[in-house]
Homo-oligomer: A and B are copies of this chain.
Amino acid sequence: MSSEMTACCTPLTTDPLTADQAELLSHRFKALGDPVRLRLLSLIASHQGGEACVCELTAAFQLSGPTISHHLRVLREAGLIEGQRRGTWIYYRIVPEALRSLSQALHPTAVLT
């Protein structure tokens, strides 16, 4: 979607968000609004080589495989991670640009003029 460029870089503290920008950003923040998904993201990002396979991620939680798969899908559809199949296993890695855009959106710059 092309509105990604317009919503990615301006801190939301400097100008009021448009409804479209808010829709895009909230979709991503909603994906981060679950403790399991945050830990998945953190596990993937901090894993050796910057990627982790689903089997390793599933083993880190006391949750069923389908549940982990569901959370990975939410993160993937929010553009926060990407999956790549290599042989039998699927490896996930984060999309740094997505995290960076969210980080910048929250940057509390120039709040008091």
Contacts and interface: CB of A to CB of B under 8 A. Distances in A.
Interface of A: 12-17, 19, 22-23, 25-26, 29-39, 41-43, 45-46, 50, 94, 96, 99-100, 102-104, 106-108, 111-112
Query: Do most interface residues of chain A lie in helix, strand or loop, or is the interface mixed?
Result: helix
A26 B36 CA distance: 9
Given A19-B39, A94-B108, A103-B106, 11 more contacts: A12-B38, A12-B41, A12-B46, A16-B42, A19-B35, A22-B42, A26-B38, A50-B111, A99-B107, A103-B108, A106-B106
A15 to B, nearest CB: 5
Contacts of A35: 19, 22-23, 25-26
